[in-house]
Chains A and B, each alone.
Chain A
Amino acid sequence: MKKLAFVVGLLALIIAGATAQDKVPVKFLYYADATQAGYAEDMANWDKFKAANPGIDLQMEILVNQPYHQKLSAYISAGQIPDIMTVWPTTRDSSALLQGQKLLKDLKKVLPADLLSKFSASALDVKQQTSGQISELPQSFTYTTTVYANAGLLKSLGLKVPTNYAELKALVPKLKVKGIQTLLLPDADKWPAQSCLFSTISGRLLGDEFIDAVKAHKAKFTDKSFVGALAFYQQLYTDGVIDKADVNLGYGDGPGIFASGKAALFVDGDWRVGAYLTDKSTGKALIDPAAQKDFELVNFPAIPGEKNKNSASAIAGVGLGINKDLTGAKLEAAKKVLEFYYSKETMTMKWETGAFVPARTDLSSTKLEPLAVKLPAYYKTVVKTTYVLDGALDPSVFNILNDGLQAIGLGVKTPADVAAEMQKAQDALK
């Protein structure tokens, strides 16, 4: 009996092994936030792919924020780059090596032309990617500055959404008496202040041509104009528009504080819409769909002295990339994964769950929640897009800016100090 059980077990192992060998293993490091609405739909969607492709063994590892970047950086340094991974278009974190050393395939040569033709021109613009090729197909065009306004709350207090800085500043005492913050900007993670606000301030007051001039060593961060932009950022704190305490507030704390009515305005990227939509797995939303009509998505108010009115910082969004060393069956399997991800069905699902507004242009949906519908309308109000500074500057420079914005917010450094440190780092790149 024991011998029979042993033989059966051994046969089962051999069959399982043989079957497994027929499957093409594909290692996929995927960036997804399990706390964001849409995660359950996302995972169910990937299960559909696995069921429809029994010949592909899709081994997904799902992480978010810094743990994602740290894991990917560790894989890269170990020479074990995943077959497919979520990639940023520039030198942000783990993508610095992927883009900088061109460790990914040029998707223009890999994906079918008829799929690529359905994406917007800005998504396919190689100038948006540090590698100078389509290392990742941007799933969206990301507006890193979006002001979420609780218009209903403001209206109940006899106030309105500000359109210029004077109106924004005038809100401060009127909101503070009610115990409400004017503009929420959690910056403990350092990058939000630069990416979600200061990039737009810089674009409005200076334009991309200033940044290009600095990189070409024809202008300096210590010039009056850039110091003036930092001084305006400082003014937001001294005028009480942004609370100093926000510098130590975690990035993940923002949506809850805003949704609970403790802040009238919240500046973050357009990707944050997903935080407020209904999580289908629980049926709960931070802002109920019925209440979403009382919220607006607007641009940052007009800044005194701005050159580029109604501009906002934006950049090609993240997307999936393929390891450049993939060939044969693995490459074919990876192509199938990407074609599935960028399909009409998946991109529509992402749109409906508030993950992003897809760069794919042939989509429509009747299932969008009110706040998700407002995003394309917001994009139309942006007359011009400008650089996101962590996509345009070298990491050694924008890291100093990130720290410097925290220091300015806390009143520990002056705009001139921060500008000088940035210029020193820029000079070291000569």
Chain B
Amino acid sequence: MEVVVALTLRNNAEKRRAYWSFVTPAFFLYLLVFAFPIVISILLSLSDYNGGKMFGGTPWSIIGFQQYSKLFVDPSFWLALKNNVYIVLISVFGQLPLGFILAYIIYRKIVKWGEGWQAVLYVPAIISVIVLGIMWKLVFASNGLIADIENHLLATSFSNGLGSILAGAGGFHITDGVVQQILKISDPQVIASFANPVQDLKDLILGGGYDAGHLDVFKTEMTNLLAPKWSPDFMSKQDVAMIPIMFVTLWCWTGMYLILFLANMQKIDSQIIEAARIDGANELQVMSRVIIPSLSGVLANAAILCIAGSLNTFALIWAMTAGGPMNITQVLAIYMYQNAFIGAPNFPLANAISMAIVVFSLLLIALTMYVEKKFGGKEE
């Protein structure tokens, strides 16, 4: 008996030694790489550190929650937080459902060429975010692709309208009536810049050397001057300016979740699905009663990844808008970055913002886990 006890004790001691000898190096590495920076970040957010050497330089001290009280009354913080909420919403309620539905369609072979679609939908997730941001910036820019197309259509419409007016006047006969008709189809902002629109425009036309023999030149130049112009004004409106960013966010990473869900769907026993089909379930019922409950844990984990990624989002928005114009597309990570590295740095405030990001993330993740526990199905 004593021998058994002695042997067990020796085994337990050996097990403990083995455990600690394997865990200790990784534990110290974790402390150094993860825990230490977090502790320093918390300390800095409570301090009056003003840059320079942290240790051995200008002395700094802990001053309490001053930076947090400054943060919570700063409208820029709440704007950035609101923009982050938009990103979280489009990620959780856009990327996940869309990725799931597309994965289901491919998994159930509802469309042909499933592997091809997987690849096509996944491509944006593997391209550099900076490249994607610059590409979409060029699309939405005031001199970009969309503006080009819109302005071409407006210019063509104006030019045709001008042609009709001149045809109605029997040729190049510039009277007050003709000028008034031209002004009716012109850009109101250009008209507003004339002191006396009818007289000023008539003088411009008559003094511009135009004649009936050069109607094309006349039409081109009047189009340049007077045609209504489309510009992406929505990119300078708070909240609305986030829509292109949300669209690009959806476009970029839906493919990644598609792959995640598809891989997990393929682990579900196909016989369960066949049995459900035999019992008369349609595709929607199979998805809602069989697939979703089976993947509830995966959905919860994907939601957590979504939330964490959304709150950290920086590169895409920086490449597209740099948080502008006027900081209306700023998110918390950009707000933190600007306080840390642009202009006179305020490191305590920047660290306070990073702590706010962490707290907000933890709250959302806790909510996600609660929802999963309450409503989730049991995975096998």
Residues of A within 8 A of B (CB): 66, 69-70, 73-74, 76-77, 79, 91, 93, 96-97, 100-101, 103, 172-174, 176-179, 188, 190, 238-240, 244-245, 247-249, 395-396, 399, 403, 406-407, 410, 412-413
Contact = CB atoms under 8 A, between A and B. Distances in A.
Interface string B44-57: 00000011111111
Nearest to A244: B231
Contacts of A73: 51, 340-341, 345
A76 B142 contact: no
A93 B345 CA distance: 8
A77 B345 contact: yes
Contact of A245 (B193, B222, B231): B231
Contact of A69 (B53, B236, B342, B347): B342
Given A172-B193, A403-B327, A406-B326, A395 B343 contact: yes
Contacts of B224: 176-179
B58 interface: yes
Contacts of B235: 248
A275 B225 CA distance: 30
Given A188-B324, A248-B141, A410-B326, A177 B340 contact: no
* Highest count of chain B CB atoms <10 Å: which of A70, A103, A177, A244: A177
12 contacts: A70-B342, A73-B340, A73-B345, A91-B343, A238-B192, A238-B193, A247-B325, A403-B326, A406-B326, A407-B325, A412-B237, A412-B326
A397 to B, nearest CB: 11
Contact of A91 (B55, B190, B344): B344
A410 B236 contact: yes
Contacts of B51: 73, 76-77, 97, 101
Contacts of B190: 176, 240
B283 interface: no
B342 A93 contact: yes
A389 to B, nearest CB: 14
B344 A100 contact: yes
B359 interface: no
B324 A406 contact: yes
A69 B341 contact: yes
A97 B56 CA distance: 17
Interface of B is mostly: loop
B290 interface: no
A188 B233 CA distance: 15
A69 B56 CA distance: 24
B344 A177 contact: no
Given A77-B345, A245-B142, A407 B326 contact: yes
B26 interface: no
A407 B343 CA distance: 20
Given A176-B224, A244-B231, A74 B341 contact: yes
Contacts, number: 101
B221 interface: yes
A185 to B, nearest CB: 14
Nearest to B140: A248
B90 interface: no
A395 B349 CA distance: 15
Contact of A70 (B141, B189, B325, B341): B341
A159 to B, nearest CB: 13
A76 B347 CA distance: 12
Given A97-B344, A248-B235, A412-B236, 4 more contacts: A74-B341, A79-B57, A248-B141, A412-B237
A176 B345 contact: no
B208 interface: yes
B145 interface: no
B52 A96 contact: no
Contacts of A103: 52
B150 to A, nearest CB: 13
B281 interface: no
A364 to B, nearest CB: 39
A410 B325 contact: yes
B286 to A, nearest CB: 48
Contacts of B85: none
Contacts of A97: 50-52, 344-345
Interface string B71-101: 0000000000000000000000000000000
Given A69-B342, A412-B326, A77 B225 contact: no
A93 B52 contact: no
A96 B341 CA distance: 11
A79 B325 contact: no
B139 to A, nearest CB: 13
Contacts of B56: 79
B231 A101 contact: no
A171 to B, nearest CB: 12
Nearest to A76: B51
A250 B326 CA distance: 14
A274 B234 CA distance: 36
B233 to A, nearest CB: 8
Contacts of A399: 343
Given A77-B52, A399-B343, A406-B325, A177 B142 contact: no
A173 B343 contact: no
A79 B53 contact: yes
Interface in B199-227: 204, 208, 221-222, 224-225
A14 B143 CA distance: 60
A399 B193 CA distance: 31
Nearest to B53: A79
Contacts of A176: 190, 224-225
A91 B346 CA distance: 13
B322 interface: yes
A96 B141 contact: no
Contacts of B345: 73, 77, 96-97
B225 A173 contact: yes
A79 B52 contact: yes
Interface string B342-380: 111101000000000000000000000000000000000
* Highest count of chain B CB atoms <10 Å: which of A69, A70, A172, A248: A248
Interface in B264-310: none
